[in-house]
Amino acid sequence: MNTNYLEAVEKAASFLKDKGMQTPQIGLILGSGLGELADEATDTIEVAYENIPGFPVSTVEGHAGKLVYGDLGGKKVLAMQGRFHYYEGYSLKEVTFPVRVMKALGVSSLVVTNAAGGVNENFTPGDLMIITDHINLTSDNPLLGPNNNDLGPRFTDMSEAYDKGYQSLIEAAGEENGLSVQKGVYLGLAGPTYETPAEVRMIRTLGGDAVGMSTVPEVIVARHAGLKVAGISCITNFAAGLQESLNHDEVVEVTTRVRESFKSLVKTLIEKM
């Protein structure tokens, strides 16, 4: 990792501190259709990604996002409303840049969320899933290249990528909100194609319960940086082969339908963290 990258992280962090994002405790990455949760935060400070020095420049319409700092569930949170995806053409160092900035600002925990396809046949669109572990099949890794020991160790332990204590808290938060929450392994691919039916069979054989195109890079960097991670997937569809066809509108439609449950689940989780 070169000095320029580190300097860029520090520059973005000090820019955001100057904007008033002083003491964030929990970072929050809000996936496709799930960004509305940030609107629940109070006393907010918001900065569009395009105005943050060093942040990747978004090229895709509808993915233009912003950082929202504020109070949520009794904590100071720093939420990403929208994330950067590998399939958009960003390198994984760019995709995970915001996680480095969160760490530089003092965040100690990260909540990652996403929309995902259900591979486990017991899952139904609209289910929320506690991510218990992941499988990185993006064919890339954000930590490739020289390691900067100030950012984290050369070889990062991934034996508890998703904190067990946080998994229990999500479960408790689900019970409190009367939601039945699934549990499973998230398998991350590069995308942007959805999977073929044969690929879905492969994913099931490999032990994936849900499949998506995000999250894995951010969690790798979060663990490298020593952040504790909680992960929640919104199952938006039966993965290909389990339903007739699949399109992005459907993914967005389902996230909209479960938005209220999702918001209460994450809010209660943050209260408990």
Task: Give the per-residue contact string, 68-97, with ligand HPA (x = CB under 6 A; - = no).
Answer: ------------------------------
Q: Active site residue: 58, 91, 158, 248, which one?
A: 248
Residue 174 near residue 180, CB atoms below 8 Å: yes
Partnered with residue 45 across adjacent β-strands are: 69
The angle formed by the CA atoms of residues 125, 178 and 272, to the nearest 5 degrees, is 105
Size of the site for ligand HPA (CB under 6 A): 13
- Nearest to ligand HPA of 37, 239 (CB atom): 239
Is 51 annotated as catalytic?
no
Residue 137 near residue 187, CB atoms below 8 Å: yes
Q: Active site residue: 46, 88, 253, 271, which one?
A: 88
Site for ligand HPA contains 251 (CB under 6 A): yes
Rounded Cα–Cα distance for residues 43 and 183 (Å): 33
Site for ligand HPA contains 220 (CB under 6 A): no
Is 245 annotated as catalytic?
no
Site for ligand HPA contains 115 (CB under 6 A): yes
Nearest to ligand HPA by Cβ — which residue? 117
- Nearest to ligand HPA of 173, 242 (CB atom): 242
- Nearest to ligand HPA of 143, 181 (CB atom): 181
Q: How, if at all, do strands 109-118 and 26-30 pair?
A: parallel
Q: Per CB under 6 A, which of residues 193..212 are in contact with ligand HPA? A: 194-195, 211-212
Site for ligand HPA contains 136 (CB under 6 A): no
**Phi and psi at residue 66, in whole multiples of 5°?**
-150, 160
Q: How far is CA 169 from CA 21, 26, 110, 264, in A?
A: 26, 15, 14, 13
Site for ligand HPA contains 184 (CB under 6 A): no
Is 237 annotated as catalytic?
yes
Q: How far is CA 106 from CA 26, 30, 76, in A?
A: 9, 19, 11
- Nearest to ligand HPA of 115, 273 (CB atom): 115
**Token pair for residue 218?**
């951010």
| The dihedral sign for the CA sequence 199, 203, 209, 211 | negative
Shortest Å, Cβ 173 to ligand HPA: 23
In the complex, which residues of this chain contact ligand HPA (CB under 6 A)?
115-117, 194-195, 211-213, 236-237, 239, 246, 251
